[in-house]
Amino acid sequence: MRLGGVCVLMAVSLSVGLGGCATLPSTDRTASAEAPVADGTKVQELLSRMSLERKVAQLIQPQINSFTAEDMERYRFGSYLNGGDGGPYGDELAPASEWLRLADEMWTASTRPLPGDEPAIPTMWGTDAVHGHANVVGATIFPHNIALGATRDADLVRRIGAATATEIAVTGIDWNFSPTVAVARDDRWGRTYESYSEDPQLVAQLGRALVEGLQGIEGTPDFLRKDKVIATAKHFFGDGGTAQGIDTGDVNGDIEALKAVHAVPYPVAIDAGVQVVMASFNSINGVKMHGNKQLLSDYLRGELGFDGLVVGDWNGHGQIKGCTVTNCPHALLAGLDIYMVPEDWRPLLESLVGQVKDGTIPMSVVDRAVGRVLQVKLRAGLLGPDAKKPSSRYHGGSLDLLGSTDHRALAREAVAKSQVILKNSGVLPIRAGANILVAGRAADSVVRAAGGWTLSWQGSEDIAGKAFTKEDFPGTTSIWEGIRDAAEQSQGNAVISPDGSFADKPDVAIIVFGEKPYAEFAGDLKTLVFADEEGLDLLRKFQAKGIPTVAVFLSGRPMWMNREINASDAFVASWLPGSEGAGVADILFGKREASGRLSFSWPADCGGAPVNSSDRALFPFGYGQSLADRTSPNRLDETCDYLDQRPSAIWFDLGRLSNGIRASADGIDLPSLRGEGGGIVSRGIDKDRQADAREITFDAGSTIAIEQDGKGEGDFVILYNLANAPIDAVTLTVGETNFDITRQLQLSAGKGWREMMITDNCAPGLGNRLSIASAGPLKLQVARISRRELPKGTECSF
């Protein structure tokens, strides 16, 4: 690529017409990162009349359920957000009219006149509309980015951006935290589906298109006007390159080589006029991006010439060394402009004001950051004499545009163009007049087809214990409904049977199956084994009865599917298509040509090691069959050492230590891993049943040890949960090997129950004893400790 006119050797292997050293736009925006913001005199004039407290409030972004309109009127936050699980007035399923009502309410509170000459600055609302405005009931749910990457259609993505902007704007929201321009390089990452591709150039191309769709084309009269919204390129940078695909983890390596992959989309987005860049949770070579001045200021602003604002991610500033969520001058000094602080906004605001007063933060730094916020508001028409409350703007309150017929047709087009046929022995397209059986629990589920970031953060199948129903997805078409309608139109017949049972033998069976919804770290995997065998069982059942089968696989990433591909006559990677399942049927019935091509290499083995156009690919980047292509791969190897991983020995499970296993703290026995001694208190807690797990509380300097009588064999697998990150060193000793696991535990904290896998890779010899020592206070929950013979070469992971 070209950065500043210098061709940098790409650190990836590119193909399918995207190879070579692509020319990315040079920009004349380059300016000193320390230069004050001065878009004319308006920003400076406003700054000169603002109090310190009002300035700092411009840099605070709380979430909607943590403050009131009265708080907005008092503090005058520069912006606010709704989280993935946040709806107006505490109702996640609130109708669109309530979203608009809250937007008006907050705008009005922020613009009430202030005493004296101090200006009242309108606030702005940001949201995660990452595949359409899918937080709102009735919105069009577009395919996730991984599917759009398979279309390779920038014009399509641009049109999706424009439709999404309209649906955001009619609900009164000003700002979208999108596009995600991560270059996902390890498919075990739980956010892989938010990435367009493993190829940085394709990500850059489609990221630019979405920016232009959301904001309009820079230099035209409609740029950031009418029904356009502010776009955000995220997450800067390296989010898709973490070790082992661990969300919010560490990215290490030569900085220029990292830029040559993970920074590629940013100069392209900047050239398109993107107004916001979001800092990433990850670290680069040990430095958290929220506090990385070298990259946030010197590189992003100085070298790349970005002149918009930098927003943090959800409490991301609190992960900087020396910071807490409520006390972090480091981020502002490094180049962050807005702190995303969902709940703890008040103490953070107070600490920042105090740090300006005591000189920790120079006033010039505050003015520069506030100036950037004001500048973006001016550019977006949110500040100035023509600024209007949300319901009075262009299309304001035109809620009939939400999920409109045109937008749903666009989503259906995107679904069809994103389908990738990996195998077809001739069953596709389905012949006219066929009798069709549709099986699989996902077939009639828009929730399963939509994935994460749909009505809720995780895209779960229920909310507050109430299962979603069809009424929660008005106007949508499930994959089953699309197939049913297409069959009728072709003079055929389709019936649905989730468990695959039938009375009359069908001509063909379509099995719809795949991953259940997830978002962010909840989707992180250790391997690419697809553990749910519902689809495999159904495919083999029909295969045994001589019924041709079509596998429709819903997933947020490529996965090891050798068994399912072998058992099917046709296999379609359907990704996470969203609300318009008829687009899937368009391909199955040949209404559209199959043009989808892989934007990620498909793995040949199940271990999960990054593929990225290497010889580990079963289907390479760019692969995809047309409907006329009747080639099928030779029978694939179904061997996977990670299947049926049964423990060779159980040390602790269901609240009990096994015979021959002893636990102790400072020489004091802890029968059943319960009791206290040596600064350790271990008590029973309920995970799945009464007292089936332990919560171990460490005093500073305490150690707990567990050992087996006689010789132990196998790798260690520990099921654990850590609510809060350790603040002092934590040391794991396995056999004769000691290693610091502080960083690994910091990354796993707050992510729920996880498996720690300790193998010969990091603890040669393993032995029959393990211990954990904490230099500071720590609470660790443990549900199971076992030993397994993991495949040779398995990485240690946490």
Q: Over the stretch 619-657, which tens digit does the pLDDT of each residue have? A: 999 999 999 999 888 999 999 999 977 778 999 999 999
* Residue 721: strand pairing partners: 781
737-740 sheet: strands from edge to edge: 668-669, 661-665, 702-708, 769-774, 730-734, 737-740
Tell me how far apart the alpha carbons of residues 120 and 22 are, in angstroms, rounded to a whole number: 46
Tell me how far apart the alpha carbons of residues 720 and 742 are, in angstroms, rounded to a whole number: 15
**Quick check: 260 and 230 in contact, CB under 8 A?**
no
Strand duo 276-279 + 287-288: pairing: unpaired
Task: Identify the band that residue 38 occupies on the pLDDT scale cut at 50, 70 and 90.
Answer: very low
Over the Cα atoms of the chain, what is R_g?
Answer: 27
Among residues 472, 422, 408, which one has the least CA distance to residue 446?
A: 472
Neighbours of 275 (CB within 10 A): 27
| Single-letter amino acid code for the residue at 211 | V
Tell me how far apart the alpha carbons of residues 764 and 767 are, in angstroms, rounded to a whole number: 9
Structure tokens that stand for 756 in this block: 């720690």
Neighbours of 81 (CB within 10 A): 22
| Single-letter amino acid code for the residue at 267 | P
Tell me how far apart the alpha carbons of residues 237 and 265 are, in angstroms, rounded to a whole number: 10
Specify burial of residue 402 (Cβ count, 10 A radius: 0-12, 13-18, 19+): buried
Tell me how far apart the alpha carbons of residues 646 and 489 are, in angstroms, rounded to a whole number: 49
CA distances from 124 to 48, 177, 220, 227, 387 (A): 21, 13, 23, 15, 12
Among residues 481, 492, 488, which one has the least CA distance to residue 438?
A: 481
Under 8 Å CB-to-CB from 219, ≥6 apart: which residues? none
> If DSSP states are collapsed to H, E and C, what string results for 487-516?
HHHCCCEEEECCCCCCCCCCCEEEEEEECC
Tell me how far apart the alpha carbons of residues 85 and 285 are, in angstroms, rounded to a whole number: 32
Stated as kind and residue range, the H or E segment containing 543 is helix 534-544
**423-481 tens-digit pLDDT:** 999 999 999 999 999 999 999 999 999 999 999 999 988 887 788 888 999 999 999 99
**45-98 tens-digit pLDDT:** 999 999 999 999 999 999 999 999 999 999 999 999 999 899 999 999 999 999
**Quick check: 157 and 213 in contact, CB under 8 A?**
yes
* Residue 682: strand pairing partners: 675, 696
Using DSSP's 3-state secondary structure scheme, residue 294 falls into: helix
Note the pLDDT of residue 632.
Answer: 87
Largest CA distance in the chain: 83
420-424 sheet: strands from edge to edge: 420-424, 570-575, 549-554, 508-514, 435-439, 493-496
End-to-end CA distance of the chain: 35
Helix ranges (H only) for 115-178 are: 145-151, 154-170
Phi and psi angles of residue 627, each rounded to the nearest 5 degrees, phi first = -70, -25
Among residues 151, 175, 155, which one has the least CA distance to residue 165?
A: 175
**Quick check: 181 and 145 in contact, CB under 8 A?**
no
Tell me how far apart the alpha carbons of residues 142 and 412 are, in angstroms, rounded to a whole number: 8
| Single-letter amino acid code for the residue at 353 | V
Strand duo 420-424 + 287-288: pairing: unpaired
Note the pLDDT of residue 391.
Answer: 95
Structure tokens that stand for 446 in this block: 């828009």
Q: Pick the range with the lowest mean pLDDT from 58-72, 360-374, 608-622.
A: 608-622
Tell me how far apart the alpha carbons of residues 417 and 18 are, in angstroms, rounded to a whole number: 19
Tell me how far apart the alpha carbons of residues 179 and 753 are, in angstroms, rounded to a whole number: 30
Note the pLDDT of residue 662.
Answer: 94
Exposure string over 126-147, b if 16+ CB within 10 A, otherwise e: bbbbbbbbbbbbbbbbbbbbbb
Under 8 Å CB-to-CB from 683, ≥6 apart: which residues? 674, 694, 695, 697
Tell me how far apart the alpha carbons of residues 693 and 682 are, in angstroms, rounded to a whole number: 10
CA distances from 55 to 52, 230, 317, 534 (A): 5, 21, 19, 56
Positions marked catalytic? 313, 520
Summarize the confidence of residues 333-343 as an average pLDDT: 98
Tell me how far apart the alpha carbons of residues 494 and 292 are, in angstroms, rounded to a whole number: 57
| Single-letter amino acid code for the residue at 261 | V
Using DSSP's 3-state secondary structure scheme, residue 272 falls into: coil
CA distances from 225 to 214, 215, 216 (A): 10, 8, 8
Task: Identify the band that residue 19 occupies on the pLDDT scale cut at 50, 70 and 90.
Answer: very low
**114-131 tens-digit pLDDT:** 999 999 999 999 999 999
Summarize the confidence of residues 679-689 as an average pLDDT: 95
Structure tokens that stand for 612 in this block: 């990225």
30 vs 146, higher pLDDT: 146
Structure tokens that stand for 730 in this block: 């934590």
Q: State yes or no: pLDDT of 25 exceeds 60.
A: no
Tell me how far apart the alpha carbons of residues 742 and 28 are, in angstroms, rounded to a whole number: 44
Computed over every residue of the chain, the mean pLDDT equals: 93
118 vs 23, higher pLDDT: 118
Tell me how far apart the alpha carbons of residues 328 and 306 are, in angstroms, rounded to a whole number: 23
Among residues 724, 734, 717, 727, which one has the least CA distance to residue 781?
A: 724
Task: Identify the band that residue 239 occupies on the pLDDT scale cut at 50, 70 and 90.
Answer: very high
Tell me how far apart the alpha carbons of residues 11 and 169 are, in angstroms, rounded to a whole number: 39
Strand duo 79-81 + 124-127: pairing: parallel
CA distances from 394 to 228, 466, 534, 677, 690 (A): 9, 36, 48, 68, 57
Summarize the confidence of residues 193-207 as an average pLDDT: 98
Using DSSP's 3-state secondary structure scheme, residue 120 falls into: coil
Among residues 706, 442, 462, 709, which one has the least CA distance to residue 584?
A: 442
**Quick check: 577 and 418 in contact, CB under 8 A?**
yes
Region class of 310: left (phi > 0), else alpha (psi between -120 and 50), else beta: beta
Task: Identify the band that residue 40 occupies on the pLDDT scale cut at 50, 70 and 90.
Answer: low
Summarize the confidence of residues 577-581 as an average pLDDT: 98
**Quick check: 448 and 442 in contact, CB under 8 A?**
yes
Tell me how far apart the alpha carbons of residues 508 and 712 are, in angstroms, rounded to a whole number: 52
Tell me how far apart the alpha carbons of residues 674 and 670 are, in angstroms, rounded to a whole number: 5
Using DSSP's 3-state secondary structure scheme, residue 446 falls into: helix
Give me the percent of the chain exceeding a pLDDT of 90. 88
Summarize the confidence of residues 527-556 as an average pLDDT: 97
